[in-house]
Amino acid sequence: MLTQFPLAPSMRGAVLALGNFDGFHVGHQAVVSHASTLARREGRLLLVATFDPHPVRYFNPAAEPFLLSSLVQRHRLFREFGADDTVAIPFDAAIAALPADAFVEQWLGDKLGISCVVTGADFCFGKRRSGDVSVLGQAGSRFGIEASPVELMISDGEIASSTRIRALLLAGDVEGASALLGRPFRVQGPLEHRWEAGRLVPALVLHDQICPRPGGYRVQVEFDGEPPVEGFALVRLVRGVAAIDLSDIDGFTQVRAKHASVDMLAPAHGVPIADRPGFGEVPTWN
């Protein structure tokens, strides 16, 4: 992952896919796929740039957890789609104050030295989101940078967007969210182990990543990188923080594990969860 700027001479002249890419859904994938085609055709490197932290987190540090994917997850997904590397642009006060033209000159030109930038057709950037793809094209031409916007992806009559996916997850529709992501929605992180009713309960506690609506779900879990196992998990709120209880996954690996990756496959309507305080039969949703 590239975090030191300006880039080395060997990395300059690349084709750059640019965006927040939170969740890296099917619309984002179309942007990176188009950038990959351009890079292969021109014999150039393909870089994907994202902002870290997410601009929403910068402007509103107290915002409820909303991220669909961590920076590490995005980096892995970008590589799977052919990126040679990820550019992590630090979103700070200096970036937030940059006018759109200055961002093109200072970042795309001076620091990254790219030949072409590919974005979604609705991409906005610069101070107060003053720049759009038209501004990007005009400013880029002054610095020898080609701009290539990609049309928005439409699914079931609506634009595929991170906002739409978040709404589906908060409604418990993990299958709808996964369809827009092009893969199951995944949460991952360190496990916390707590004693409850005489049992050691392993839970994935999410402090920054969004979590589906509380309830039961069919899941596929990897503990510490071991082969995945399927089972049922319960999403609940613990003192206002979302936690995924994994104690009903078959086997004992989860008791010793330190890290888990959880793919949310489908709601588990009416599936009984272990009988212990605060649990019981998973509610059925209409």
Predicted confidence band of residue 251 (pLDDT cuts 50, 70, 90) = low
Rounded Cα distance, 18 and 37, in Å: 15
| CATH number of the structural domain spanning residue 21 | 3.40.50.620
| CATH number of the structural domain spanning residue 245 | 2.40.30.30
Q: Report DSSP letters for 61-116, one per residue.
A: TTPPP-BSS-HHHHHHHHHHTT-SEEEEEE-SHHHHT--HHHHIIIIIIIIT--SE
Q: Is the pLDDT of residue 285 over 50?
A: no
Specify the pLDDT at position 226.
Answer: 87
- Do residue 121 and residue 257 come from a single domain? no
Single-letter amino acid code for the residue at 237: L
- Closest of 48, 44, 49 to residue 13, by C-alpha: 44
Q: Is the pLDDT of residue 201 over 50?
A: yes
- Do residue 134 and residue 253 come from a single domain? no
Q: Which domain holds residue 249?
A: 184-267
Q: What is the mean pLDDT of residues 59-76?
A: 94
Q: Is the pLDDT of residue 213 over 80?
A: yes
- Do residue 133 and residue 207 come from a single domain? no
* More reliable by pLDDT, 164 or 255: 164
- Do residue 190 and residue 63 come from a single domain? no
- Do residue 201 and residue 143 come from a single domain? no
Q: What is the mean pLDDT of residues 25-47?
A: 98
Specify the pLDDT at position 239.
Answer: 73
Single-letter amino acid code for the residue at 7: L
Domain membership flag for residue 93: yes
Task: Please state the length of the chain.
Answer: 286
Domain membership flag for residue 177: no
- Do residue 20 and residue 115 come from a single domain? yes
DSSP state of 2: B
Rounded Cα distance, 118 and 139, in Å: 14
User: Number of structural domains, the chain?
Assistant: 2
Domain membership flag for residue 164: no
For residue range 103-115, what is the model confidence (pLDDT) as tens digits?
A: 999 999 999 999 9
Pairing assessment for the beta strands 154-155 and 158-159 based on DSSP bridges: antiparallel
Q: What's the burial of 6, exposed, middle or buried (CB within 10 Å: 0-12/13-18/19+)?
A: middle
What average pLDDT does the structure give for the chain?
A: 90
Domain membership flag for residue 285: no
Specify the pLDDT at position 30.
Answer: 97
For residue range 170-199, what is the model confidence (pLDDT) as tens digits?
A: 999 999 999 999 999 999 999 988 777 667
Query: Which residues, 6+ apart, have CB-to-CB distance to 96 below 8 Å?
Result: 55, 58, 59, 127
H or E element that contains 285: none
H or E element that contains 208: none
